[in-house]
Amino acid sequence: MPARPSSSTAVRQRRARGSISPKEVVTGAIELCRTETVDGLSMPRLAQHLDVGVTSIYWYFKSKEDLLDALSDEAFTRFYAQMPPLAGRQWDEVLREYFTNFRTILRADPVLCDLVIMRGGRYRDDTLGRTWERIEGILEVLVAAGFTADEATTAYFTLSVYTRGCLFIERNMRTIEDTEGGGHPKAHLAESMPVLSSVIGRYGSNMIGDDDFAAGVENNLRGLRTLLASRKPQRRR
Amino acid sequence: MPARPSSSTAVRQRRARGSISPKEVVTGAIELCRTETVDGLSMPRLAQHLDVGVTSIYWYFKSKEDLLDALSDEAFTRFYAQMPPLAGRQWDEVLREYFTNFRTILRADPVLCDLVIMRGGRYRDDTLGRTWERIEGILEVLVAAGFTADEATTAYFTLSVYTRGCLFIERNMRTIEDTEGGGHPKAHLAESMPVLSSVIGRYGSNMIGDDDFAAGVENNLRGLRTLLASRKPQRRR
DNA sequence: ACCTGAACACCGTTCAAGT
DNA sequence: ACCTGAACACCGTTCAAGT
């Protein structure tokens, strides 16, 4: 009785010489992460998923770490491909649009979020270059609006850190809630705390909502606007 | 020849009945993390460090996850013990002091940072209560200064997310640089980018400096100040 | 040059005991 | 009640082959 090709107990047939490509491994790995999360990815299961010997992967990637770097790079590329071009007439609109898109896209795709945000990852030079181009574009808008190069850079990084911080914390809380039973509000802990009690409805287990994120961005924009105004020619006084 | 007590090859003597305490396990684990990082902690090595059978740990903690939760809780307690009481006369001083201390303390202790920030961790109710008290204190300062409860809460969380985001990103970059060879500036990538080129010295591989963090906090405070002023009785006009 | 299974050292966890 | 080693299924990686 000849072994059926994809039977679970069948002995895998040896792959032909050029039949495995690094691209295929990366794509398959990201595909598999969709089912098993990035942290849960294992070399044996990936090999099985790709219908390849475990050790074959090591021909293209010298370690799991190395493979994960490639995954991050690919994830980053896919992420940036989804980012719409800079939009907005005013500098503050540009920032708002950019970081709102940034968060929306990564929140919608946990695998990209895990690879791009949670994992640092060393990127290839061209990936890095593409990012920097985008950043440069934003900085130039800010400089044109009257900020110094330093102020523009600080502004960008502040909002970037804030946005990535949001994604990080939210992702962290989600994994905790998934493991643990649902989030009890624990409002009783705030019994003797008047201010916290009055807002505890909004901050139950529902992590960082769109409104909260937006409010944080707006506060930063307000700060930047004030900074800019303080150096513009004062009108009266 | 009688086995020497702590010889590397000696068979460990059976521990007496009450000689292991959960507290001891937690303390020993955090101690060990100082040498092997939190991610590198393993049950067998912890057992060896504690001079205890591996499986004995499972009598007090039903899983490694469970133990890590206890570690996070302990780390959180130690962290909060280091936080000085709220200081500052003005609400903005209070916020600045608080988040600066927050960052300074956790940056100085990678193990606490890993347990408190990088790992979410479910906390015990009393740990949570102590945190909330501190938050309530800050919110009350803000409300007394004229913010609504909602505004105060948003302000707190925005700065909290920003600060934790800083710690997260910095910790992430540090681990990458530790694995990889030192950070090459890669300035050549920014050749055709005038603004980025002009600031690339400040943002080489030196992650988020004290100045950058402070600038982000100040920008948020400026935003809050403007928000508050916009609702105070307008003087002229 | 490319693909592979066997083998190794390690991990978290369970189970059936010992005291 | 508390402590334990043996055993299990899994992991990442190496090595010595096969083609």
At residue A187, the pLDDT reads 79
Protein-covered nucleotides on strand C (Cβ within 7 A): 1-7, 10-16, 19
Distance from CA of B170 to the nearest CA of A (A): 10
Q: Say yes or no for a CB contact (<8 Å) between A199 and B128.
A: no
- Please provide the average confidence, as pLDDT, over all residues in chain B: 89
CB contact under 8 A, B220 and A215: no
Q: Which residues contact A162 (CB under 8 A, 6 or more apart)?
A: A99, A216, A217, A220, B158, B161, B162, B165, B216
Give the whole-angstrom CA distance, residue B53 versus residue A112.
Answer: 41
Is residue A43 within 8 A of residue A54, CB to CB? The reply is: yes
What pLDDT band is residue B183 in, cutting at 50, 70 and 90? Answer: low
Q: Is residue B128 a contact partner of residue B77, using CB atoms and an 8 Å limit?
A: no
Contact A195 B220 (CB under 8 A): no
| Residues A217/A96, Cβ–Cβ less than 8 Å | yes
Please, which pLDDT band fits residue B201 given cuts at 50, 70 and 90? confident
Q: Is the C-beta atom of A54 closer than 7 angstroms to strand D? A: yes
Residue type at position B230 = S
What per-residue string of b and e applies to B20-49 under the rule 16 or more CB within 10 Å gives b? beeeebbebbbebbeeeebeebebeebbeb
Looking at chain B, which residue has its C-alpha nearest residue A223?
B223
Give the mean pLDDT of A164-178: 89
Minimum Cα–Cα distance from B223: chain A residue: A223
Q: What is the pLDDT of residue B181?
A: 56
Across A71-75, A148-152, A182-186, least confident range: A182-186
**Res. B102: pLDDT tops 80:** yes
Indicate the pLDDT class of residue B121, thresholds 50, 70 and 90. confident
Lowest model confidence (mean pLDDT) among A100-109, B137-146, B160-169, B193-202: B193-202
Per-residue model confidence (pLDDT) at position B233: 63
Average pLDDT over residues B210-235: 90
CA of B60 vs C1' of C12, distance in Å? 15
Å from A119 (CA) to D5 (C1')? 38
Do B139 and A219 lie within an 8 Å CB cutoff? no
- Give the contacts of B122 (CB within 8 A, at least 6 positions apart): A176, A180, B69, B72
Q: What is the DSSP string of A158-219?
A: HHHHHHHHHHHHHHHHHHHHHHSS-----GGGGTT-HHHHHHTTTTSS--S-HHHHHHHHHH
Contact of B17 with B62, CB cutoff 8 Å: no
pLDDT value of position B68: 98
When mean pLDDT is compared across B62-76, B112-126, B154-168, B192-206, the lowest value belongs to B192-206
Rounded to whole angstroms, the distance from the CA of residue A22 to the C1' of nucleotide C5 is 22
Closest residue to D15 (CA, C1′)? A55
A44 touches strand D (CB under 7 A): yes
Neighbours of B113 (CB within 10 A): 24
| pLDDT tens digits for range A27-57 | 999 999 999 999 999 999 999 999 999 999 9
Average of per-residue pLDDT across B15-32: 97
Rounded to a whole number, what is the largest CA-CA distance in chain A?
A: 97
Contacts of A133 in chain B (CB under 8 A): 193
Kindly tell me if the per-residue pLDDT of A218 is higher than 90. yes
Q: What confidence category does residue A4 fall into, taking pLDDT thresholds of 50, 70 and 90?
A: very low
pLDDT at A208: 82
Using the structure, give the distance in angstroms from the CA atom of B55 to the C1' atom of C14, rounded to a whole number.
Answer: 10
Distance, in Å, from the CA atom of A153 to the CA atom of A162, rounded to the nearest integer, reads 14
